[in-house]
Copies of this chain bind each other. A is one copy, B any other.
Amino acid sequence: MEFSSVQNLSLHLISSAFQRCRLSEQICRLSVILARSSSSSLRVSISDTGNGSCLEEFQGLRFSSNDDADNWDGMLSIKTTSISDTEIHNYTINLKASDSSKITRLTSNTKNGARFSGSEVCLSSFVSIDLLVAEIHQFLEKMMILSIPNVATHLVAEDCDVPGSRYEKVFLANGDKELPIPASNLDLLKSGLEDYVLRHGNTLSNKCHYCFPNWEQLKVGSGVACSIENHQHNELVMEAVIIISNMPVDNTECFRKYGDKTEVFYFKDFSPGTVSKSLMKALKGIDWKSYGLKLGGIVQQDRLALLEWENLTRDTHVDIVLHSYNKQTVIPGPRKITQTERNLVKRAVKLSLDDLKEKHAGVLLSSHAVQVRSYAPDLAKTIAGLILSSSDLNFQEECFSLLGLQSQVVGTENMENCIRERIVSVIEMNDKKPHKNKVAPSLFVDDRAQELEFEENDMEEGEDDLDLQLF
């Protein structure tokens, strides 16, 4: 893996540390400490209490900045120990050097029999501390969506030249929510995204009580698609979570960063990834219409992909997260998105949409069903009319009881509402099992039309508009 900036390299190192924590069975702590000393070089220290690291992790790294601003010598200093090690190994690695002269082993420290594991990676550079803090912050917040429960991350930044400039933040997943134990990755992802939505993404640190007075307003759907790749028992998993939320329309205080657009979060192997063209193609290929959604287009902004909807009501918002990982790989390497993965995206998204629809009546109705549903008030009114205008009281009574209405309290509106609800529910139910209920509605193709050669005009009343010319 080749990096061209200290920021990117730092994010990668944080991600690696995070993975080591994740894979540990214990509650782990990940500290990122940025300290600018008076020498004005910035020291970046990433330490974790996860599984110890292995040299291979670092061997593959390379640095090749054309940008002198970094002014970095390419040297990483590493301390690491695993739970079974008796000593702490020390290395320096020159990422600018060629492979052979890369790694220098330093003398180890003894652990004095203590059983702990962990690593610390340090580097010194002249990169801007503010820039780096902002990026790391964003990165860590995104990581929160994964809701890895056993990692607490601590970000500290201090400029020694500026007194009182210390910045410190702890990132803890699922702060106030109970999760099933053991929680699956998907559960964690759902919980993470819910949290994200309730906090309006990055803009709030707590759930927005103004927009979401009750929790249940979020409509969450999730889906998992798997595939065994290359016969290597290397199972590729694609998890998708979709949340539809409704906010008060008149809410002028809270706003989404991207308005009505949907930011697609994409995680690859438990680390935030970029939404590539290939992935966007997969997203475009989803039959949104059959869920009543009309995709206007996908906008790429920075490294984000924003889906634009054409027919969303103003109060509705859609949030999507995708997570793809190999079930078996422990230390993931770079991986290209394949056709298989594209298909998995489609399947996972579709499954989560189905899930949503199944769990929440009336949500994600196909545009066809929406159209059909628009007839419901008319139909209800007419049927109610047929019943209420009848002069046969027994018949009316029978209908009331069928509809579960008390005849004493039946008003026209009452009746209409009741019938409408039933019609709507039938239509929505029908839409949920789109492939089940396909009793070819028209048993016979409409072959009658072509047989009618002559429009019979036994209906006209010799209408009046034609004969301006009287003679």
Q: Interface on A for B, CB 8 Å cutoff? A: 465, 467-470
Chain A's interface: helix, strand, loop or mixed, by majority? loop
Report the nearest B residue to A466, measured CB to CB.
B469
5 contacts between A and B (CB under 8 A): A465-B469, A467-B468, A467-B469, A468-B468, A468-B470
User: How many copies of the chain does the oligomer comprise?
Assistant: 2
CA A189 to CA B470, docked complex, whole Å:
67
CA distance A468 to B470 in the complex (A): 8
A409 to chain B, nearest CB (A): 43
| Min distance, Cβ A363 to any Cβ of chain B, angstroms | 44
A469: chain B residues at CB < 8 Å are 465, 467
Q: Enumerate chain B residues within 8 angstroms of A470, measured Cβ to Cβ.
A: 468
Contact partners of A467 in chain B: CB under 8 A = 468-469
Contacts of A468 in B (CB 8 A): 467-468, 470
Nearest B residue (CB) for A469: B467
Please name the residue on chain B nearest to A471 by beta carbon: B465
What separation, in Å, do the CA atoms of A450 and B468 have in the docked complex? 34
Q: 5 nearest interchain CB pairs?
A: A467-B469, A467-B468, A465-B469, A468-B468, A468-B470
Cα–Cα distance between A216 and B82 once the two chains are bound (Å):
143
Tell me the minimal C-beta distance from A323 to chain B in angstroms. Answer: 63
User: Whole-angstrom distance between the alpha carbons of A465 and B468 in the complex?
Assistant: 10
- Residues from chain B with a CB closer than 8 A to the CB of A465 are 469
A465 to B471, CA, bound (A): 10
* CB-CB nearest in chain B for A468: B467
Provide the bound-state CA to CA distance between A468 and B468, in Å. Answer: 7
For residue A465, which residue of chain B has the nearest CB? B469
A465–B467 CA distance with the chains assembled, in angstroms: 12
Q: Find the B residue at minimum CB distance from A470.
A: B468
How many angstroms from the CA of A469 to the CA of B469 in the assembled complex? 10
Task: Tell me how far the C-beta of A234 lies from the nearest C-beta in chain B, rounded to whole angstroms.
Answer: 70
- A467 to chain B: closest CB distance in Å? 4
Q: Tell me the bound Cα distance from A467 to B467 in angstroms.
A: 9
A466 → chain B closest CB, angstroms:
9
Q: What CA separation (Å) do A470 and B470 show in the bound complex?
A: 10
